[in-house]
Structure 1
Amino acid sequence: MIEHRTAQLARWFACLSLLLMIRPASALPGDLDLTYGGGTGAVFAAPVAVYDTLSATVRRSDGRFLVGGYCNSASLSRAFCLSSRNADGSPDASFNGTGSTLTQVATGFTSDTALALALQTDGKALLAGWCDSSSRDFCVVRYNTNGTLDTTFGDAGKRLLDFGNSNNSDTLTALVVQGDGRIVLIGFCNGQSTFCIARLTSTGQLDSTWGGTGLVATDIVANDLDLAQAGTLLPDGRLVIAGFCRTTPGSPFTAYDFCLTRYLANGTLDTTFGTAGIVITPVGTEWDQPHTLKRLPDGRLLAAGQCRVPDDAGTGLKDSFCAARYQANGALDTTFGIGGKVTISPAPEFRYGGIDVYADGRILVAGACRHLNATSGCNATFGAGKFLLMRLTAAGALDISFAAGGINYFALGRYSNYAYPANVTLLPDGKVLFTASCAVGAAGDPNPNGAVFCFARFEGEPSPPVLCTLDLDGDGQVLATTDALLHLRIALGVPDTAKTTGITFPASATRNNWSAIDTYLRSLCAPASPYCMLDIDGDGLNTALTDAAIHLRIAAGLRDSRVVAGLNFPANAPRRTWTDLRQYLATQCGVTGLQN
């Protein structure tokens, strides 16, 4: 055993020495990655139109990524625009020949404003927002992988939806795709006073199993402002929506709180969540606006956006990053920040962009800021401020191991406009992709008259690896009748439709259907080996006679050499003895109670 551990330490130090030799000494988490963008760390896209505003980013499994938003041009007042980029930020020529496409959705001289982007499992892309010509409606467009409109969707690739209220103010802000291909559109309507959610079939038709008509409207605070901004699906098909609601009738527009609702799969409010399906949370002093909602691997919910809090002098308010973390039932998670809430003020003026979350719970935040009188940090180098990238610990504090004290302030292009949105994406190798719109205008900029899509990459470090998974359904237990049985069926190649047949999942399971379990397992592994976390003996395969058998025996309560009795391990399996497997199961799979 001592020799085995010595060999492990020797290999670990050898790998560390190699990393130190190949990684520049100055490259720390949060620094610009100077291997990106030809040594600058940044890439500026060619103009799609005159003014290109980026709203959303999604990454494909092969490293390419899509950025979507709205672009203003001379011939089209405002149109949807979508660009496909290679991993290095260069245009993906397989997408519309140029890497970008421009789509007018409504007819006439319109304001088509795309705010949400999602990928389907078949690689097609959905870009959605609101379209305003004679009235404002939800609108969504589906594109084939080559950038052409998918004419099998809606009306020749496009779909407009009217909730039928007299205010003509249907505004779509978010989009999610269910595992079965149905599409959920999220926003607000009826004069900004109602959460409005539409569900479409995979072909773009209204799904009548959602609220009876495909359209559901919820008045959170009666006769006042309710603006839905984001949503996330739960493994069992329920839907959680986050937005901001004015809880003091007649008060100024700044009097908003975070508000969340949860719906059953049929569109009715889930009364087991919060109070009758609704949770309202004041976070800052005023203007509490969540724009992102993420479901964490353990089932908790993280809502993030911005709010206003007292300034340092106590004489006014300043814009800040604000977040709240909730238990699955809607109660605040008091292990996060102060009482479940976090407020951080990077500068007197802060504009939220987006977040991404590490497997260990750390949070990346992208945004923009302005401090016109500052001599450091977010002072404006020219015009209107800088971008920023910030990292928090899982508990909600600034992570001082990232950049300078947790925040990197930077400019892209001629200047980084405080008003422009920004997104952040954690890459598989731990690096960070930042995507935004950049104001331009100086000589040599790609679009001298407006703004372009821009991308930057930052240094990071990989999340601690998850090496083994025995709790497949996420209930905190390893059971023979759920986890081990699923493992066996995966190893035997049972069809997806039958993998969960006859299985009764515990009420505490956070993944209680095959779609959720499959998505979880694939998120931990490379596409070429989607179930690598089930390879217990380390031979590169997931087999019934070794890996699944070990899983079953552990689930049955064995914690000694009987776990491997009678098993015939492949010659290339690095873990073939009880000594090696015992250590692996204890340290990498979290199996407790092991003994010789």
Structure 2
Amino acid sequence: MYFMRQRLFACLCAFGPFTFTSSSALAASPFDIDSSFGSNGVSTIPQQQIGFIESYRLATDSDSNVYTVSSNFNGTNFITKRLATNGQLDPNFGNGGIITTSLAPNATFDRVCVDDATHDVVLLGYASTQSGEVVQTVRLTSTGTPVSSWGDNGISSIDTPGNAAFAYGCVFRSNGSALLFGADSFPASNSPNEGQRGFVAQLNAFGNLDTAQSAPLTMVEIPENVVHHNLAFTTITLSADGSYFVGGTAYDTDYSDSDIGLIKFAADNTIDSSFHDGALVIVDLGGDTDKLAGLLENADGSVTGVGVDLFNNPDIDFFIGRFRADGSLDSNGQQEKFVTLPKGAVAESVALDPTGRILVGGPFDDENGGSYEGAVRLRGVKASNAGGGLNGGGSGGGSLSASMALVLMLFSLAKIATGFRVQIGKASGLL
């Protein structure tokens, strides 16, 4: 199998940064601040209200509520918050919008996902054991009560073949099972060099690896002789037929540069060969810290991806592009724009809500020295029924300038192909 690298950087050097030309002067940019969220698009929570914050991550549910998870300095208490669609703490969640738990004090959690059917939240992270780090999850009701049927009294551990695994997110199916995804280290016996590979695991309704599935655990591994050897899956979009796209970040050996990656799985958790011949698509956005922030599937089977380059934080370089159903990158409607966050903001997490709006979360410091947790919401993109251009929240699409079209044509010509490995395992290890 092969994966494709579409080298955009050389084109950017030759032609300079490109801009999106709107078809209408009144059409809103998909990167404009959404003023209906919080105060002029920014929602902040004073840190003294919830204690010292070590990290800050975002997730959303089907109602576009925003969830965050963070911890105190020593990691013994984990704090989950729910912001309503207006950016305010939701009083119907926990205690005034906040849940604090010390259920698993020996674990580290800084991701969260939501079961829309029950409104339960699942904290994601890892726990250290004698043999290494294992994926660990904690499931809580919307009032903060542990769900006793999940794992062992609300705590579930998933062992992977490597010795250092971490969960970056999950999504729930209608039958109560969950798709968990993240990164795992290479087993020492398979690789002389330390590295990461992406994984997807299906959990049953009780939080355990679903061994009734033929492929409950899938590892996607990039060979050592490829520059971007390390892979972590960080985002997913689930289709009505049970298939799904999972994407993430491919890092070079010393993690100094990264590109985005995308692959498609069938409903039975096997890799879908119809999407790019069953291979991982790698796209270089031209930055040093390219990350895939979110995915939206379109009606025609294509998928819209939102990528970010956080190198010049708080100036974020956003990239929006569409992958056709066969895995090729469509030049129609690609957009790129630098967005400067409000003063003092640092982006630690970027996510999409179900409507395609872009959420940026992280710590904020105001000009008076105050510290806050914060979230900014941008207008974002919507999934396309026709699979053509992208739009900024319903305010009209856009057209590409002639110079942009030339650059994109060159993008499609600049491809480098090489190989990658896929390993499918069960609970006992790799097959």
Matched residue of 1:203: which SS?
coil
1:409 aligned to 2:336?
Answer: yes
1:171 aligned to 2:98?
Answer: no
* Contact kept in structure 2, 1:246 and 1:253, CA below 8 Å: no
CA distance, structure 2, for counterparts of residue 302 and residue 268 of structure 1: 22
How many Å apart are 1:393 and its aligned residue?
A: 0.9
* Contact kept in structure 2, 1:116 and 1:129, CA below 8 Å: yes
Query: Residue 252 and residue 361 in structure 1: after superposition, are their counterparts in 2 closer, same or farther (change >3 A)?
Result: farther
Query: Residue 307 and residue 436 in structure 1: after superposition, are their counterparts in 2 closer, same or farther (change >3 A)?
Result: same
Select which of 371, 387, 397 maps to 2:318: 387
Alignment RMSD, CA only? 4.5
Q: Which residue of 1 aligns with 2:10?
A: none
Matched residue of 2:333: which SS?
coil
1:182 aligned to 2:124?
Answer: no
Name the larger-Rg structure.
Answer: 1
Query: Residue 104 and residue 253 in structure 1: after superposition, are their counterparts in 2 closer, same or farther (change >3 A)?
Result: farther
Query: Residue 420 and residue 388 in structure 1: after superposition, are their counterparts in 2 closer, same or farther (change >3 A)?
Result: farther
Name the one with the larger helix percent.
1
Equivalent residues, number: 355
Contiguous gaps of at least 5 residues in structure 1: 1-28, 45-88, 311-315, 372-379, 441-445, 466-596
Q: Which residue of 2 aligns with 1:531?
A: none
Query: Residue 273 and residue 317 in structure 1: after superposition, are their counterparts in 2 closer, same or farther (change >3 A)?
Result: farther
CA distance, structure 1, for counterparts of residue 40 and residue 359 of structure 2: 22
CA distance, structure 1, for counterparts of residue 182 and residue 273 of structure 2: 21
* Contact kept in structure 2, 1:107 and 1:133, CA below 8 Å: no
How many Å apart are 1:402 and its aligned residue?
A: 2.4
Q: Which residue of 1 aligns with 2:235?
A: 292
Q: Which residue of 1 aligns with 2:147?
A: 207
Aligned-residue sequence identity (percent) comes to 17
How many Å apart are 1:360 and its aligned residue?
A: 1.9
1:426-482 per-residue CA deviation (whole Å, 9 max, x = no partner) reads: 85xxxx655547999xxxxx98999983635579964379xxxxxxxxxxxxxxxxx
* Contact kept in structure 2, 1:163 and 1:189, CA below 8 Å: no
Name the one with the larger strand percent.
2
How many Å apart are 1:388 and its aligned residue?
A: 1.8
Q: Which residue of 2 aligns with 1:114?
A: 56
Select which of 250, 255, 267 maps to 2:195: 255
The one-letter amino acid paired with 1:176 is V
TM-score normalised over the length of structure 2: 0.67
The one-letter amino acid paired with 1:455 is L
CA distance, structure 2, for counterparts of residue 298 and residue 175 of structure 1: 21
1:453 aligned to 2:376?
Answer: yes
* Contact kept in structure 2, 1:254 and 1:287, CA below 8 Å: no
Matched residue of 1:221: which SS?
coil
CA distance, structure 2, for counterparts of residue 177 and residue 365 of structure 1: 23
How many Å apart are 1:228 and its aligned residue?
A: 0.4
1:481-518 per-residue CA deviation (whole Å, 9 max, x = no partner) reads: xxxxxxxxxxxxxxxxxxxxxxxxxxxxxxxxxxxxxx
TM-score normalised over the length of structure 1: 0.50
How many Å apart are 1:399 and its aligned residue?
A: 0.4
Q: Which residue of 1 aligns with 2:134?
A: 194
CA distance, structure 1, for counterparts of residue 121 and residue 363 of structure 2: 34
Q: Which residue of 1 aligns with 2:404?
A: none
How many Å apart are 1:322 and its aligned residue?
A: 0.7
Query: Residue 209 and residue 97 in structure 1: after superposition, are their counterparts in 2 closer, same or farther (change >3 A)?
Result: same
* Contact kept in structure 2, 1:342 and 1:396, CA below 8 Å: yes
* Contact kept in structure 2, 1:34 and 1:41, CA below 8 Å: no
* Contact kept in structure 1, 2:314 and 2:347, CA below 8 Å: no
* Contact kept in structure 1, 2:135 and 2:159, CA below 8 Å: yes
1:331 aligned to 2:307?
Answer: no
The one-letter amino acid paired with 1:297 is A
Q: Which residue of 2 aligns with 1:368?
A: 308
Query: Residue 328 and residue 385 in structure 1: after superposition, are their counterparts in 2 closer, same or farther (change >3 A)?
Result: closer
Matched residue of 1:170: which SS?
strand
The one-letter amino acid paired with 1:397 is S
Q: Which residue of 1 aligns with 2:176?
A: 237
* Contact kept in structure 2, 1:36 and 1:457, CA below 8 Å: no
Query: Residue 114 and residue 270 in structure 1: after superposition, are their counterparts in 2 closer, same or farther (change >3 A)?
Result: same
Q: Which residue of 1 aligns with 2:217?
A: 278
Matched residue of 1:402: which SS?
strand
How many Å apart are 1:103 and its aligned residue?
A: 5.0
Matched residue of 2:304: which SS?
strand
Query: Residue 368 and residue 297 in structure 1: after superposition, are their counterparts in 2 closer, same or farther (change >3 A)?
Result: same
Query: Residue 357 and residue 273 in structure 1: after superposition, are their counterparts in 2 closer, same or farther (change >3 A)?
Result: same
1:396 aligned to 2:327?
Answer: yes
Query: Residue 390 and residue 199 in structure 1: after superposition, are their counterparts in 2 closer, same or farther (change >3 A)?
Result: same
CA distance, structure 2, for counterparts of residue 229 and residue 98 of structure 1: 26
How many Å apart are 1:364 and its aligned residue?
A: 1.8
